[in-house]
């Protein structure tokens, strides 16, 4: 064991040395490789083939300039990224994020997580991520269109339904996917539907894709609750964020009998003790594109807490669904003290390492993002299947497939954690399942 631990520590130091200043990437790597000791003891061939070292190094990293012009005629320059991390299980697959915080370290952390998340789905997709430091907030439709066209003019040469298939993420919804696909189609002269997912169902998109990440996270947590002999029925819940993932997390929790009493955005928190009104929230965020502060204008019994901490609101189930590292150790202790029994990550790596330790020590059921929020990419893969077969599935059929996939992800993580002597530890289970699936393919392909 000491020898394996030393090997893992040496690999981590090498990652830091080769990727300086990329804190989020370092955190993501540490979270995975620290759990792989038992896997390497059972599969020493993975160490012989240097699988961890190879899996921590992206197969390809693309950085490019994105010039565009605003409505006043002023020229702006942004930076675009695509990190094609690992294609052992299939074409690169992962979203594009448009947000001012995007830099190489963020994209690499997301791409690294995507490798294992995609492997957990059991579908033939590799891991990638991309995006830009462009901020679509406050931009006109024409400005967003011009940016997307410039972005795709460079990125298109690296894409293809058998090569790399992007989707949406923060700042990239159906509007942006439409502009990106239109430019790809224009440049290539091919109606290659399978090259982008998250499309409008009228032109090749999958029903349920918009809802998939939120629905899938709730399905996973529902399975965790069943293990505890419980369900969402009557549970008081909080969901951070108010974007796509949060909205459909709230929707599915309500369908399963839970009550969501709080949600948030970057400016503050809405607390509504009688339960969040989903119709109002959807209109504010999906139609009017406004801040959630406007919620209290229509619901006088709700409270808006500017700059508030949503994790201070007592709940039994917490669903962090906004962004990375939003739930720290102090907030985790507050949740536990207030009676939280289950946490499911709708966002990518929203809980800090200290927060994860707090949940583990308290016996709180904790679902890491790579498992809990895999429903989004799973449904993207289902969209690829429909595109490849020139088919269109019903909402009910696609949702059933999503539900089956999430139940299978939970089962495989739960059983793997037990196999490696850590029952109920979904972090160890998810990392082991995802890593072993990718590692076995990498060994089979030889040294490439």
Q: pLDDT by residue (tens digit) across 430-445?
A: 999 999 999 999 999 9
pTM: 0.92
Specify the DSSP element, H or E, that contains 4: helix 2-18
The verdict on 41 and 72 lying in the same domain is no
Query: Final residue of a domain: which of 350, 372, 394?
Result: 372
CA gap 388, 444 in Å, rounded: 26
Judged by phi (left if over 0) then psi (alpha if -120 to 50, else beta), residue 168 lies in: beta
Radius of gyration from C-alpha coordinates of the chain: 21
DSSP three-state, residue 116: helix
**Is-contact 212 292, C-beta < 8 A?**
no
Based on the residue annotation, tell me whether 282 is a catalytic residue of this protein: no
The verdict on 219 and 171 lying in the same domain is no
pLDDT at 2: 55
The verdict on 368 and 228 lying in the same domain is yes
The verdict on 68 and 184 lying in the same domain is yes
The verdict on 365 and 222 lying in the same domain is yes
The verdict on 20 and 105 lying in the same domain is no
- The two structure tokens encoding residue 426: 């979904």
Q: Give the residue-averaged pLDDT of 273-279.
A: 96
The verdict on 44 and 96 lying in the same domain is no
The verdict on 218 and 273 lying in the same domain is yes
- CATH code of the domain covering residue 79: 3.40.50.10860
Is 205 part of any domain?
A: no
Q: In this predicted model, what pLDDT tens digit does every residue of 148-203 receive, in sequence order? A: 999 999 999 999 999 999 999 989 998 999 999 999 999 999 999 999 999 999 99
Angle at 107 between CA 105 and CA 108, to 5 degrees: 65
The verdict on 136 and 29 lying in the same domain is no
The verdict on 113 and 152 lying in the same domain is yes
Positive or negative, the CA dihedral 395, 399, 400, 405 is: positive
Which pLDDT band, with edges at 50, 70 and 90, does 426 fall under? very high
The verdict on 215 and 331 lying in the same domain is yes
Is 415 part of any domain?
A: no
The verdict on 118 and 186 lying in the same domain is yes
Number of structural domains the chain divides into: 3
Q: In this predicted model, what pLDDT tens digit does every residue of 74-131 receive, in sequence order? A: 999 999 999 999 999 999 999 999 999 999 999 999 999 999 999 999 999 999 999 9
What is the domain range of residue 43? Answer: 2-49
pLDDT at 1: 46
Is 403 part of any domain?
A: no
Is 417 part of any domain?
A: no
Q: Give the residue-averaged pLDDT of 396-406.
A: 97
Kindly tell me if the per-residue pLDDT of 136 is higher than 60.
yes
Q: Give the residue-averaged pLDDT of 61-66.
A: 98
The β-bridge relationship of strands 268-271 and 60-69 is unpaired
pLDDT at 58: 98
Which pLDDT band, with edges at 50, 70 and 90, does 323 fall under? confident
Query: Final residue of a domain: which of 372, 390, 415?
Result: 372
Is 201 part of any domain?
A: no
Report the mean per-residue pLDDT for the chain: 96
Catalytic residue among 50, 108, 129, 139: 129
In the 8-state DSSP scheme, what is residue 345? -
Is 423 part of any domain?
A: no
Q: Give the residue-averaged pLDDT of 65-77.
A: 98
Is 183 part of any domain?
A: yes
Kindly tell me if the per-residue pLDDT of 3 is higher than 90.
no
Is 123 part of any domain?
A: yes
Kindly tell me if the per-residue pLDDT of 46 is higher than 60.
yes
| Nearest residue to 164 (alpha-carbon basis) of 136, 189, 192 | 192
Instruction: Give 272's contacts (C-beta < 8 A, 6+ positions apart).
Output: 261, 262, 295, 299, 301, 302, 303
Query: Final residue of a domain: which of 318, 344, 372?
Result: 372
- CATH code of the domain covering residue 313: 3.40.50.720
């Amino acid at each position: 064991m000491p020898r394996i631990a030393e090997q893992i520590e040496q690999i981590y130091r090498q990652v830091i040395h080769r990727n300086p200043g990329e804190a989020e990437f370092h955190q993501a790597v540490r979270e995975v490789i620290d759990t792989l000791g038992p896997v390497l003891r059972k599969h020493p061939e993975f160490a012989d083939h240097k699988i961890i070292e190879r899996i921590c190094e992206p197969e390809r990293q693309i950085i490019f300039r994105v010039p565009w012009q605003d409505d006043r005629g002023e020229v702006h320059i942004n930076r675009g990224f695509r990190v094609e991390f690992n294609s052992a299980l299939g074409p690169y697959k992962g979203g594009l994020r448009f947000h001012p915080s995007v830099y190489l370290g963020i994209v690499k952390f997301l791409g690294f997580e995507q490798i294992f998340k995609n492997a957990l789905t059991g579908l033939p997709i590799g891991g990638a991520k991309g995006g830009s430091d462009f901020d679509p907030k406050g931009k006109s439709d024409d400005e967003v269109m011009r940016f997307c066209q410039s972005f795709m003019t460079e990125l298109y040469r690296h894409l293809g339904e058998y090569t790399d298939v992007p989707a949406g993420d923060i700042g990239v919804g159906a509007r942006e996917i439409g502009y990106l696909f239109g430019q790809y189609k224009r440049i290539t002269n091919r109606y290659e539907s399978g090259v982008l997912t998250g499309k409008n169902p009228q032109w090749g998109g999958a029903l349920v894709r918009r809802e998939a990440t939120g629905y899938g996270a709730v399905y996973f947590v529902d399975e965790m609750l069943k293990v505890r002999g419980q369900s969402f029925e009557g549970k008081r819940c909080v969901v951070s964020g108010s974007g796509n993932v949060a909205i459909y997390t709230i929707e599915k929790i309500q369908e399963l009998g839970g009550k969501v009493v709080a949600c948030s955005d970057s400016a503050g928190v809405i607390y509504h003790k009688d339960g969040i009104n989903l119709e109002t929230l959807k209109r504010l965020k999906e139609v009017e594109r406004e801040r959630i502060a406007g919620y209290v204008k229509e619901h006088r019994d709700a409270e808006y807490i500017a700059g508030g901490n949503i994790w201070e609101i007592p709940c039994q189930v917490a669903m962090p669904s906004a962004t990375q590292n939003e739930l720290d150790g102090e907030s985790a202790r507050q949740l536990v003290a207030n009676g939280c029994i289950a946490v499911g990550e709708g966002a990518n790596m929203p809980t800090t390492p200290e927060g994860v330790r707090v949940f583990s020590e308290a016996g709180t059921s904790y679902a890491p993002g790579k498992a809990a929020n895999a429903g989004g990419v799973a449904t993207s893969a289902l969209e690829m299947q429909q595109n490849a077969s020139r088919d269109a599935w019903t909402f009910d059929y696609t949702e059933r497939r999503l539900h089956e996939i999430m139940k299978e992800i939970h089962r495989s993580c739960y059983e793997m954690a037990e196999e490696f002597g850590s029952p109920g530890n979904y972090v160890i289970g998810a990392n082991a399942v995802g890593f072993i699936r990718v590692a076995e393919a990498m060994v089979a392909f030889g040294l490439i």
